[in-house]
Structure 1
Amino acid sequence: MTQQDAKFRPQSDGPLSHLGRLIAVSSGKGGVGKSTVAANLAVTLARQGLRIGLVDADLYGPSIPGMLGIPGDTPPVMSPDRKVIPAEAHGVKVISMGMLSGDDKPAILRGPMVTKYLQMFVTEVAWGQLDMLFLDLPPGTGDTQLTLAQAFPLTGAVVVSTPQDVSLRIARRGLRMMEQVNVPILGIVENMSGFTCPSCGEVTHIFRQGGGQKIAASLDVPFLGSIPLDPAIVDSGDGGTPLVVSAPDSLAAQAYAGIATALSGGADQPGGLAVPFDWHIARGEGKPSAANPTSQNPSDRPVSLDYDDAGLAIGWPDGTTQTASPRDLRLSCRCAACRDEATGKPLLEPAAVPLEVAATRIWSVGNYAIGVEFSDGHNSGIYTFEVLRGLESTEAEDV
């Protein structure tokens, strides 16, 4: 195993281990150049010899194929095992709705179909072995972001903003959303940082200066770097050849290289239970492996799960085990059918829950929660780790 292979070896032996690190590239608002940043970072890392994949997760406004010169009129083909074979450009494997629908055909999709396509783009594509898979998200904090955070164990997120105050304020919301679903923030990228005159070399800060660095410091997250405003970035993207290929010695290309180096040097998956998992309790299949409790484990993430007649036993990094009875767990469900979303008032009547109710299946929801299916058929509840920690325990002891 080479040093590079060791550095990027899969974090677990789970069904997504071949994808390496899953890194979301996000922004609070549109128009900040997020997709351009994602494309150039992916190509930079591929040119450094890493195995890189790129998911264009903006289903309604796919732009990655055009930036990488991938024709939109040739749909991808299927492999013998019925997986989609991704396109490849500049050393990066790519999947995008733009490759399925063409340039001028709109994707008219409701929420369930958005979820279906996103899951297909990650799990039903013949990616092969990757070191990193970038997910270029649409702007905002909506269904796409939540679906990806719930369905996949994201290694972390890169947040792109411009130096404008309004862009930075909205970027802050995106940061908070990622934090709420336990997606680590790998850092902030300040795009369109300043314009360098090609004639005299004078730098003009059109959108103010240093805002990205300030907000990173205020939120205690890394500042990955600033990318200057360069017309060549737009020209290169429109021509299907990213700037890091067409002008590798430019200041902007050097900025992309610095950010790529920062990403490839860290970003380990957070400690705790190995995710994803899908534990069918009755069949005894898919039980998650326990993690060793160490100082490196996040204090708010379980390190073990077990289940018997007493209920769900949850091991925490501080060495304690908390056990919640199946009925208490069922009564604590916070889904829309069991609790009023506006007031938080319980809607589920305790008398409606059988005394002998049991959990039949438990699965991971991203990095921040579990889902539980019960013997009474209920399966729509998501239990965040914070909610689990707050449950009354029928037994708590040092382990």
Structure 2
Amino acid sequence: MSQPEHAAGPRMIAISSGKGGVGKSTVTANIAVAMAEAGLSVGVVDADIYGPSIPGMLGIPSVKPAMTPDEKVVPAEAHGVKVISMAMLTDDDKPAILRGPMVTKYLQMFVRQVDWGHLDVLLLDLPPGTGDIQLTLAQAFPLSGAVVVSTPQDVSLKIARRGLRMMEQVEVPILGVIENMSGFTCPSCGTVTHIFHQGGGEAIARDIGVAFLGKVPLDPNVVDCGDDGTPLIGAAPDSPAAAAYRDIAAALGDTGDASGGIATPFAWSIASGSGKPTPVEPVAGGSDDRLSALDHHAGSLVLRWMDGVEQRLATRDLRLDCRCASCRDEMTSARLLDPDTVPMDTDITRIWSVGNYALGLSFSDGHDTGIYTFKALRAMQGAELEDV
């Protein structure tokens, strides 16, 4: 597993959906343009490696991007939005036939090896589902939050709920739900027809306890706009759909980094001390699953949490508690690691952040494939927890 370098960056917001065909990329493109019109510096990563569509929707030609002298990719720009996409790297009719590791490599490149310049917001247009790409992004990058797009159709809503639960499990804050294709207003008589029912997105948001960002009505112009490379928000700025996009963009534009705690990503080398995250002060009512500081002493890892609690864990205990596939049975969770094979003086050599929800640890015995979630770390029995 590669470890991220410590760097401040834009708010990263994932736009996701449980299933295809709900108009997620159309929503992403229009929200991005609305944010740019509001004065924000916006980038879009078209993370749908197998079915990229953002460049077409924004009218970006299929031209290979230029490179900077330091070998970073220069993103395309249209309607005030910077974009990187697989569609810019391959021909229109050439499929991206890639295995999982290569997909991960491209995603890493799209975020870290692109000359974005200053950005306020980086939107990540995810493919539908809850697979490798979603997990890679959640683990590799400090997402500020995720937005789930659905239609009011019952089947779409049920699958959208799974997407919401997946983001919750990897501790990505849910910024809200968008109900797309929410009714069609007849341009002649003004009658609203709810083709896919109504109110389902708002009900799911209410049930799960997240924000409902709004309804985007069907608009017959959206097809032509997508084909012409002109977002609806620019082609029909006075339409009800454009108004909905602006309201959603304003809500997301005001959303700060909800993670709290020490800044991520980071990668701390214990021997050299490089990359150690800067501590922050705990706060009253602070989160019990966000770190305010990390320290290492021979044989122990000290975790300080945002709620003011300090925890000291023996490094050998951490090694024995590793839950990766080589140390635990994936089906039964039974321990496969023989404790007798782990030296008593085992220590930690590197620590890095995994998204907003976990730490990666490298040990002196060479093992470095375990992911230690904050929830699991808080539950470990170490030195007695005390207020600091």
Mark yes or no: TM-score above 0.5.
Answer: yes
- Pairing 1:145-160 to 2, within 5 Å after superposition: 145-160=134-149
In structure 2, the partner of 1:76 is 65
Report the counterpart of residue 302 of structure 2 in structure 1: 313
Report what 1:216 is aligned to.
Answer: 205
Report the Cα offset of residue 365 of structure 1.
Answer: 0.1
| Residue of structure 2 aligned with 1:52, choices 31, 35, 42 | 42
The corresponding residue for 1:21 is 11
- For residues 199 and 256 of structure 2, the distance between their equivalents in structure 1, rounded to whole angstroms, comes to 24
- State the distance in 2 between where 1:158 and 1:322 align: 33
Unmatched runs of 5 consecutive residues or more in structure 2: none
Give the letter for the 1:93 counterpart. Answer: K
Residue of structure 2 in register with 1:295 after alignment: 284
Hey, what does 1:205 align to over in structure 2? Answer: 194
2:94 to 95, 101, 105: 105
> CA shift at 1:318, angstroms?
3.2
How far the C-alpha of 1:296 sits from its partner, in A, is 5.6
Deviation of 1:238 (Å): 1.0
Matched, 1:174 2:149: no
Q: Could you give the per-residue CA deviations for residues 230-280 of structure 1, whole angstroms, max 9, x where no partner exists?
A: 111121011100000111111100010110111112233321121111000
Contact residue 6 and residue 275 of structure 2 kept, 8 A: no
Q: Is 1:398 paired with 2:376? A: no
Report the counterpart of residue 240 of structure 1 in structure 2: 229
In structure 2, the partner of 1:7 is: none
Percent identity at matched positions?
66
For normalisation by structure 1, the TM-score amounts to 0.94
Query: Aligned partner of 1:166: which letter?
Result: V
Give, in whole Å, the separation in 1 of the partners of 2:177 and 2:318: 38
**2:328 alignment partner in structure 1:** 339
Instruction: Normalising by structure 2, report the TM-score.
Output: 0.97
Point out which structure has higher relative CO (alpha carbons under 8 A, 6+ apart).
2
Deviation at 1:310, TM superposition (A): 3.7
Read off the aligned partner of 2:58 and give its amino acid letter: L
Task: Give the equivalent residue in structure 2 for 1:114.
Answer: 103
Question: Of 322, 344, 353, which aligns to 1:355?
Answer: 344
What is the SS of the residue equivalent to 2:83? strand
1:366 aligns with 2:343: no
Q: What's the offset of the Cα at 1:15?
A: 4.4
Q: For 1:194, give the aligned amino acid.
A: G
Query: In structure 2, what is the Cα distance between the partners aligned to 1:46 and 1:356?
Result: 54
Given that 2:299 and 2:345 are in contact with CA atoms closer than 8 Å, whether structure 1 keeps it comes out as: no
Provide structure 1 residue ranges, at least 5 long, that are not aligned to the other structure.
1-13
User: 1:394, CA displacement in angstroms?
Assistant: 3.0
| Equivalent position of 1:10 in the other structure | none
Deviations 1:72-120 (A, max 9, x none): 2x10010111100000011100000000012110001111111100000
Residue aligned with 2:210, SS: coil
CA distance in 2, matches of 1:244, 1:342: 49
